[in-house]
């Protein structure tokens, strides 16, 4: 199928009346920045929507059209790199797309540097330099390559400072400020070993960062969805589950084939007590995994399977189905090397409870011991596992004593 943008150009060449309304060459003359050009935004909107809905082939055709139109501009490479990033998002442990992502971001940086050196207007190339370095920093931090992440972060901040004060790009630029303000305060508390590195950076402000990202989520064009991606995580970390649920529901309805947004919708519906919605989303996720839909795999699967196991154990008392789903959650956790994850431990506890109710005490004890071994120390899961272990040990001692009498 021909790219939508290409079809649009053909149509405009036929209709002189419509050509007066939209002429890409005339718009290019009227705007000093490609990203401010409404014609480019019209062409990019559909492609960006397809990207976030995991229709990567269709999005790629549109991005290549933009690359053809603007061969020396960094934007097409940045958008193609963004597509590679979203292939990583569902399971950040998978490194399959790292090289392609980094190659596109490096191409973005090379072209943006050329514009930065040769054009009077430094704002637009600085914006893409800041964005490309920031995304590289995100990947390096996922890979725990802290030196590279630090270097990329410092470059992102350097170019972000160049952009500041430009009113036309304020919502887009605020994205970088919001991310920095929140995580510059959050990271040292969660990763104390990184404090010496972060001493070279300005202090952050979590509340201000959250507010800035909310402004971006409501007003930006290019960074709106990325801001919402981060807000979902922030709302959950700050126990603002009502906000997280509303955001996740809206994003899943907007991009129904995005596994990350559907996973968050399932999770937040579960946490906020929206049983019917959580159950439907969980089953939908498992169906998509079995159908091989792109992006749907073990990380989403362990979440969905646990939700269905929990409901079948607690609400429906269907212990066979509960066992099936808890075992699925355990299998998905094993596949994704996440044996310390909460869903894995909770599923083991669920399997232990079912085995105990069915008086399979040795089996129950093995599940509880495994849960105790994998649970975070001093967590509620560890305490629950140990409580059950002690109760079962006492029960078995009592049984032995009664048999001796």
Smallest CA-to-CA distance from 329 within 279, 282, 364 is with 282
pTM, rounded to two decimals: 0.87
Q: How many C-alpha atoms does 91 have within 13 Å on its Cβ side?
A: 20
Token output for 343:
């869903």
Taking residue 213's Cβ as centre, other Cβ atoms within 10 Å add up to: 26
Q: Determine contact, residues 79/63, Cβ cutoff 8 Å.
A: yes
Q: Which residues contact 158 (CB under 8 A, 6 or more apart)?
A: 130
Report the C-alpha gap between 156 and 274 in whole angstroms: 40
Residue pLDDT tens, the chain, 405 long? 444 443 333 323 333 333 333 345 444 555 567 777 777 888 888 999 999 999 999 999 999 999 999 999 999 999 999 999 999 999 999 999 999 999 999 999 999 999 999 988 898 899 999 999 999 999 999 999 989 998 998 999 899 888 876 656 678 888 888 888 888 876 666 666 666 666 556 788 999 999 999 999 999 988 999 999 999 999 999 999 999 999 999 999 999 999 999 999 999 999 999 999 999 999 999 999 999 999 999 999 999 999 999 999 999 999 999 999 999 999 999 999 999 889 999 999 999 999 999 999 999 999 999 999 999 999 999 999 999 999 998 888 877 777 766
pLDDT at 400: 79
Gyration radius from the chain CA atoms: 25
Token output for 199:
């001493």
H helical segments located in 272-379: 275-291, 298-314, 319-335, 342-357, 361-374
Q: Determine contact, residues 227/40, Cβ cutoff 8 Å.
A: no
pLDDT at 54: 98
């Amino acid at each position: 199928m021909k790219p939508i943008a290409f079809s649009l150009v053909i149509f405009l060449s036929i209709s002189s009346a419509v050509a007066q309304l939209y002429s890409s060459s005339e718009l290019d003359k009227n705007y000093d920045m490609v990203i401010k050009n409404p014609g480019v935004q019209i062409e990019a909107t559909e492609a960006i929507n397809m990207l976030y809905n995991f229709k990567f082939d269709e999005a790629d055709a549109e991005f290549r059209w933009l690359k053809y139109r603007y061969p020396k501009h960094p934007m097409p490479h940045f958008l193609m790199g963004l597509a590679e990033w979203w292939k990583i998002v569902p399971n950040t442990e998978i490194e399959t797309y790292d090289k392609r992502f980094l190659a596109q971001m490096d191409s973005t940086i090379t072209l943006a540097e050329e514009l930065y050196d040769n054009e009077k207007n430094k704002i637009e190339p600085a914006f893409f330099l800041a964005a490309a370095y920031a995304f590289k920093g995100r990947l390096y931090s996922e890979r725990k390559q802290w030196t590279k992440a630090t270097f990329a972060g410092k470059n992102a901040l350097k170019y972000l400072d160049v952009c500041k004060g430009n009113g036309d790009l304020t919502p887009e630029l605020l994205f970088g400020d919001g991310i920095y303000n929140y995580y510059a305060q959050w990271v040292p508390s969660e990763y104390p070993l990184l404090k010496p590195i972060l001493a070279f950076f300005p202090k952050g402000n979590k509340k201000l960062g959250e507010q800035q990202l909310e402004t971006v989520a409501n007003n930006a064009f290019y960074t709106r969805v990325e801001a919402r991606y981060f807000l979902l995580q922030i709302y959950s970390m700050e126990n603002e589950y009502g906000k997280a649920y509303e955001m996740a529901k809206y994003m899943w309805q907007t991009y129904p084939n995005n596994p990350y947004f559907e996973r968050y919708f399932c999770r937040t519906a579960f946490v906020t007590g929206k049983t019917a919605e959580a159950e439907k989303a969980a089953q939908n996720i498992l169906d998509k995994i079995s159908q091989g839909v792109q992006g749907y795999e073990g990380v989403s699967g362990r979440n969905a399977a646990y939700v269905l196991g929990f409901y079948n154990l607690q609400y429906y008392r269907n212990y066979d189905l509960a066992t099936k789903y808890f075992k699925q959650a355990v299998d998905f956790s094993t596949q994704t090397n996440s044996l310390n994850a909460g869903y894995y431990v909770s599923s083991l506890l669920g399997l232990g409870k079912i085995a105990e109710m069915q008086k399979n005490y040795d089996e129950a004890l093995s599940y509880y011991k495994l849960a105790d071994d994998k649970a975070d120390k001093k967590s509620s899961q560890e305490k629950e596992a140990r409580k059950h272990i002690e109760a079962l040990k006492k029960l078995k001692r009592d049984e032995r004593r009664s048999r001796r009498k």
